[in-house]
Amino acid sequence: MAATAPSCYKDLKVMSHSFKSIALVGRPADLRVAECMLSLAAHFREQGLRALVDPGVTLAFPPDSVVPCPERSFAERADLIIAIGGDGTLLYAARLVAEHSVPLLGINRGRLGFLTDISPNSMLEDVDNVLAGRYSEDPRSVLAARLEKSGGGSLRALALNDVVVNKWETGRTMDFETSINGRFVNSHGGDGMVIATATGSTAYALSCGGPIVEPDLDVWVMAPISPHTLSDRPIVVRAGSMIQLRMSDRFESRGQVTCDGSALGELEQGDDLYVEAADAQVTLLHPPGYDYYRLLRSKLHWGRGAYGGKNDGRADRIDDGRAGGNDGGRAGRTED
């Protein structure tokens, strides 16, 4: 029996979706981003398509070349959202559509970008392939964070990459406990904890020594940040688990909870942070040629050979500039 293709290779299918209204998300103040946005808007107009942009950036476009639309309404009026910038831009766009079925396409104008996998050099060709239905769909799971305050009330947010608890005071460790599905796991001392999806495994969790996880795998990573105890190591848990984090009652410490880099609130003594699977998911679109391992080689400089920095010949054939990505370290959430 012939072996099936690995899951990290997205099978290309001709889709029947019709993209008539396309929202553009980016910061035109960055001239590189503005160049791409202007080019896309003109390209769509030639094809009789509507380009939606937030009213706050319409002045960057020629008159009548785009349709003003508040970003909060993109998910209701757009058939497709294109994020131009770094992974931070795509994560922002993901928050706009996380509870809707609008797919996302990322064009890389950031530093690394593990999520924005289209190169500006092939932008129009790749976008045209997507508009023609030649693309693969890549559904990604989303985390739901709930911060329960001891004084009453709760704060909620979604995260495509990760939910992070960071210490508040510089120079002091944070002491907290974790449980999974009601079972005590560990008492931690350090700078905090990253709870990442497979998508977010190449972001902050990677800089904490966490593993790289194929996006197709239904698992999460719990990675301690600068743990005081060397035995406190990252662990991989089943997606859909209920993860609880609580400050230790024995020490005075507090932390800040962020979801994909956006602040959710402070975690203080008596508060509980719960992280579980969200009902929502985010669907990324990839043009022909998408390969997750090529993305890793391109962004992490794998396959370059062992002598004098020269590659082994294979990298020349496969690292063609199409790979994008989700920044290793925090840049994936903070840039753009």
Cβ–Cβ under 8 Å, residues 91 and 116:
no
User: What letters, b where the CB count within 10 A reaches 16 and e where it falls short, cover 10-21?
Assistant: beeeebeeebeb
Cβ–Cβ under 8 Å, residues 228 and 144:
no
For the four alpha carbons of 274, 327, 208 and 174, in that order, the dihedral sign comes to negative
């909870």: which residue's tokens?
257
87 is catalytic: yes
The Cα 10–Cα 7 span in angstroms is: 7
Angle at 29 between CA 130 and CA 324, to 5 degrees: 40
- Which position among 11, 30, 54, 87 bears the catalytic label? 87
Q: In terms of residues, how long is the chain? A: 336
Residues with catalytic function: 87
